[in-house]
């Protein structure tokens, strides 16, 4: 007797309850945006620049003890975080964002030695083990921060071209739109405007243009992607986790994973619209989501099991990366069903009785 997690022919009324699910998504996004705005993000050394030291102590110490040791040595007040399991007495000491530190960054060995000497003098030479040292200059950190934001925005633009071309046959229009957005972004950057603020504005403009030009499928996919990114970043803000290059890699991975889920559902919607243009559009979308539900749940579940194993057994270095994937894959699966699919109902044109002027781009790619 075969086991089936989701029985064939299941018919959950996702679209009928879409306002409840969308309300939950909006509420969680508002909480995450509030955490980002008011609590702020903890930038790792990759983006903030500075010196990162991983130190292990043979006796129990507290972050306040470490700050006191560096303060007595005349060093900037560091950010101190526990590393590894409880009881390991291992800490990440991060010195960043200080003018005095910036002048010392060019002398990595000198600054590293000052920190090491202050810790050994305060706690004892035989009670401190320096296990890792990383140094990033402040200008390099700023450049990495801008490139990370740019990478995320460029991925959104590529999604816009692909989705609008494949499902709506608007390759030319989407390519011209993306070219104009990139051109405007380049010109604005020449004026000295911060790239971070430029990209945030560009994302807002992209969403508005997708709505105006009736890129319904692309708009649904982009909204789902923004939903996933905002929630993942917001949870990291709530947990005081550092934003590093590995976190950016996780975000881009999440974007690809979520888009793949969305495309599967969109493909099924397009097939059904092509076959039954006279049908109710909400029912078509609902049936498509139900028919792909087994594939979505099984794929996401198996992936989450692997990522969970990485989080639990992959070591402290990989934990934040795995945590971001756990959050992102979970909300990405949710957004594929409860954000990108219902979005078509808000902006798409439902089929008419005669089958004309119906839902967009029903023909095969």
Delimit the domains of the chain by residue range.
18-45+140-347, 50-136
Please write the tens of the pLDDT for every residue from 1-10.
445 566 777 7
* Residue 351 or residue 158, greater confidence: 158
**pLDDT over 90 (residue 150):** no
**Burial of 182 by CB count in 10 Å (0-12 exposed, 13-18 middle, 19+ buried)?**
middle
pLDDT above 90: percentage of residues in the chain: 17
pLDDT at 363 > cutoff 50 = no
Report yes or no: 215 and 207 within 8 Å, Cβ to Cβ: no
Of 79-88, 104-113, 247-256, 347-356, least confident by mean pLDDT is 347-356
**What's the pLDDT at 307?**
93
Give the pLDDT of residue 215. 87
Check whether 318 has a pLDDT greater than 80: yes
The per-residue pLDDT for 140 is 66
| C-alpha dist (Å) from residue 90 to 58, 94, 237, 300 | 9, 13, 22, 34
Structure token digits, residue 155 = 């991925």
Per-residue pLDDT tens digits for 264-304: 999 998 888 888 766 688 888 898 999 888 888 888 889 99
% of residues, the chain, pLDDT over 70? 86
Fold of 50-136: Alpha-Beta Plaits (3.30.70)
Instruction: Choose the weakest-confidence range: 135-144, 318-327, 345-354.
Output: 345-354
CA separation for the pair 10, 200 (Å, rounded): 40
Give the pLDDT score at 35.
Answer: 92
18-45+140-347: CATH superfamily: Multidrug efflux transporter AcrB transmembrane domain (1.20.1640.10)
Question: How much is the pLDDT for 335?
Answer: 92
- Higher-confidence residue of 354 and 75: namely 75
């Amino acid at each position: 007797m075969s086991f089936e997690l989701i029985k064939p022919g299941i018919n959950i009324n996702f679209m009928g309850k879409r306002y409840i699910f969308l309300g939950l998504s909006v509420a969680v996004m508002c909480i995450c945006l509030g955490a980002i705005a008011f609590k702020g993000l903890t930038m790792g050394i990759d983006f903030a620049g500075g010196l990162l030291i991983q130190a292990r102590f043979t006796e129990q110490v507290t972050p306040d003890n470490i700050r006191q040791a560096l303060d007595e040595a005349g060093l900037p007040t560091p950010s101190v975080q526990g590393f590894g399991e409880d009881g390991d007495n291992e800490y990440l000491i991060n010195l960043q964002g200080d003018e005095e530190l910036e002048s010392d960054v060019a002398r990595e060995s000198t600054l590293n030695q000052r920190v090491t000497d202050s810790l050994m003098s305060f706690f004892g030479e035989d009670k401190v083990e320096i296990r890792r040292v990383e140094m990033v200059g402040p200008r390099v950190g700023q450049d990495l921060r801008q490139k990370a934001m740019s990478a995320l925005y460029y991925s959104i633009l590529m999604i816009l071209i692909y989705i609008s071309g494949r499902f709506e046959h608007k390759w030319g229009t989407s390519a011209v739109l993306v070219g104009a957005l990139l051109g405007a972004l380049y010109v604005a950057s020449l004026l000295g405007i911060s790239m971070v603020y430029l990209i945030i504005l560009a994302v807002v403009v992209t969403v508005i243009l997708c709505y105006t030009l009736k890129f319904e499928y692309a708009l649904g996919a982009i909204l789902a992607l923004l939903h996933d990114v905002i929630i993942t970043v917001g949870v990291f803000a709530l947990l005081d986790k550092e934003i590093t290059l590995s976190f950016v890699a996780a975000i881009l991975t999440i974007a690809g994973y979520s888009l793949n889920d969305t495309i599967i559902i969109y493909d099924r919607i397009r097939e059904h619209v092509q076959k039954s243009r006279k049908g109710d559009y909400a029912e078509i979308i609902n049936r498509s989501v139900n028919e792909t539900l087994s594939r979505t749940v099984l794929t996401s579940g198996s992936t989450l099991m692997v990522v969970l194993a990485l989080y639990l057994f992959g070591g402290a270095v990989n934990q934040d990366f795995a945590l971001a994937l756990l959050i992102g894959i979970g909300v990405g699966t949710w957004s594929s069903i409860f954000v990108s699919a219902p979005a078509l109902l808000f902006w798409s044109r439902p089929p008419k009785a005669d089958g004309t002027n119906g839902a967009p781009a029903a023909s095969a790619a």
